[in-house]
Chains A and B, each alone.
Chain A
Amino acid sequence: MTATAEKPDLEIGRDRRRKEDQRLITGRTRWTDNLALPGMLHLAMVRSPHAHAKIVSIDTEAAKQAPNVVAVFTGADLGANQGACINAWAITPDQVTPPHVPMPSDRVAFAGETVAVVVARSAAEARDAAELVDVEYEELPAALDLKESAADTVLAHPDLGTNKSAYWVFDSAEAGTGGSADEAIEKARGDGIVIEREYRQQRLIPAFMEPRSTVVDPTGEQITVWSATQIPHILRFAIAATTGVPESKIRVIAPDVGGGFGGKLQQTPEEMITFAVARMLGKPVKYTETRSESLMTAHHGRDQWQKLTLSAEKDGTVTGLKVELTADLGAYIAIVGGGVPVLGAFMFNAIYKFPAYHFACQTVLTNKTWTDAYRGAGRPEATYAIERLMDELAIEVGVDPLEIREKNWIKHEEFPFTTVAGLEYDSGNYEAATAKARAAFGYDELRAEQQQRRDSKDRIQLGIGISTFTEMCGLAPSRVLGSLSYGAGGWEHASVRMLATGKVEVVTGASAHGQGHETAFSQIVADRLGVAFEDIEVLHGDTQIAHKGMDTYGSRSLVVGGEALVKAADKVIEKAKPIAAHLLEASVDDIEFSAGRFSVRGTDQGLAMAEIAMATFLAHNLPDGIEPSLDSEATYDPVNFNYPHGTHLCAMEVDTETGGVLMRKYVCVDDIGNIINPMIVEGQVHGGLAQGIAQALWEEAVYDDSGTLVSGSFVDYLLPTAADTISFEVDHTTTASTTNTLGTKGVGEAGTIASTPAVVNAVVDAVRQFGVNDIQMPCTPERVWRAIHANDGDAATEGAAAPHFTEETGMQGQTDRTDGAGE
Chain B
Amino acid sequence: MARIELTVDGAKVSDDVEPRMLLVQYLREKLGKTGTVIGCDTSNCGACTVHLDGRSVKSCNVLAVQANGHEVTTIEGLANGDELHQVQESFRECHGLQCGFCTPGMIMQAVDLLNENPSPTEAEVREGMEGNLCRCTGYHNIVKSVLHAAGGAK
| A interface, CB within 8 angstroms of B | 17-18, 20-29, 31, 33-34, 36, 124, 207-211, 256-259, 261, 290-292, 513-516, 679-680, 682-684, 686-691, 713-715, 719-723, 725, 727-728, 751
Contacts and interface: CB of A to CB of B under 8 A. Distances in A.
B102 interface: yes
B76 interface: yes
A25 B97 contact: yes
B135 A259 contact: yes
A29 B75 CA distance: 11
Contacts of A751: 138
Contact of B79 (A26, A513, A679): A26
21 contacts: A26-B35, A26-B78, A27-B35, A124-B20, A207-B135, A208-B101, A258-B101, A259-B99, A259-B136, A291-B40, A514-B136, A515-B98, A682-B95, A683-B141, A686-B137, A686-B139, A687-B138, A714-B42, A721-B133, A725-B126, A727-B143
Given A211-B38, A259-B101, A714-B40, A21 B91 contact: yes
Given A27-B33, A291-B45, 4 more contacts: A256-B99, A291-B42, A513-B99, A722-B132
Given A211-B39, A713-B41, A689 B100 contact: no
A680 B138 contact: no
A26 B75 contact: yes
Contact of B140 (A24, A516, A728): A728
Nearest to A683: B95
Nearest to A290: B41
B139 A725 contact: yes
Given A31-B101, A722-B125, A680 B135 contact: no
B12 to A, nearest CB: 20
A22 B33 CA distance: 17
Contacts of A513: 99
A728 B140 CA distance: 7
Contact of A25 (B38, B92, B129, B135): B92
A689 B138 contact: yes
A29 B41 contact: no
B47 interface: yes
A722 to B, nearest CB: 4
A686 B39 contact: no
A487 to B, nearest CB: 28
B66 interface: no
B98 A516 contact: yes
Contacts of A727: 122, 140, 143-144
A477 to B, nearest CB: 28
A256 B104 CA distance: 14
Contacts of B14: none
B56 interface: no
Nearest to A31: B37
A26 B88 contact: yes
Contacts of B20: 124
A209 B102 contact: yes
A18 to B, nearest CB: 7
Residues of A contacting B: mostly: loop
Contact of B41 (A33, A261, A291, A721): A291
Contacts of B88: 25-26
Contact of A680 (B36, B95, B107, B130): B95
Contacts of A124: 18, 20-21, 25
Contact of A20 (B18, B34, B74, B100): B100
Interface of B: 18, 20-21, 25, 28, 32-42, 44-45, 47, 74-76, 78-79, 84, 88, 91-93, 95, 97-104, 107, 122, 125-127, 129-144
Residues of B contacting A: mostly: loop
B84 A687 contact: no
Given A27-B35, A209-B134, A210-B37, A715 B42 contact: yes
Given A25-B107, A210-B39, A725 B84 contact: no
B133 A21 contact: no
B115 to A, nearest CB: 18
Contacts of A24: 97, 100, 103
A687 B136 contact: yes
B101 A27 contact: no
Contacts of B102: 209
A683 B137 contact: yes
Contact of B91 (A25, A28, A31, A720): A25
B133 A27 contact: no
Contact of B135 (A23, A209, A679): A209
Contacts of A689: 138
Given A25-B88, A209-B39, A515-B98, A728 B103 contact: no
B35 A687 contact: no
Nearest to A263: B135
Nearest to A208: B135
Contacts of B78: 26
A713 B44 CA distance: 9
B42 to A, nearest CB: 5
Contact of A28 (B28, B35, B36, B107): B35
B2 to A, nearest CB: 15
A291 B39 CA distance: 7
Contact of A683 (B32, B92, B98, B130): B98
B135 A714 contact: no
B94 to A, nearest CB: 9
Contacts of B40: 291, 713-714
B98 A25 contact: no
A26 B104 CA distance: 7
A712 B103 CA distance: 24
B90 to A, nearest CB: 10
Contacts of B79: 26
Given A17-B92, A27-B35, A209-B134, A722 B100 contact: no
B101 A686 contact: no
B49 to A, nearest CB: 12
A687 B98 contact: yes
A30 B129 CA distance: 25
A708 to B, nearest CB: 17
Contacts of A261: 135
Nearest to A295: B40
Nearest to B35: A27
A722 B129 contact: yes
A373 to B, nearest CB: 15
Nearest to A20: B100
Contacts of B45: 209, 291, 714
A653 to B, nearest CB: 16
A31 B138 contact: no
Contacts of A290: 41
Nearest to A690: B138
Nearest to A35: B34
B41 A209 contact: no
A31 B139 contact: no
B37 A25 contact: no
A687 B135 CA distance: 7
Nearest to B125: A722
A36 B41 CA distance: 21
Contacts of B129: 721-723
A689 to B, nearest CB: 6
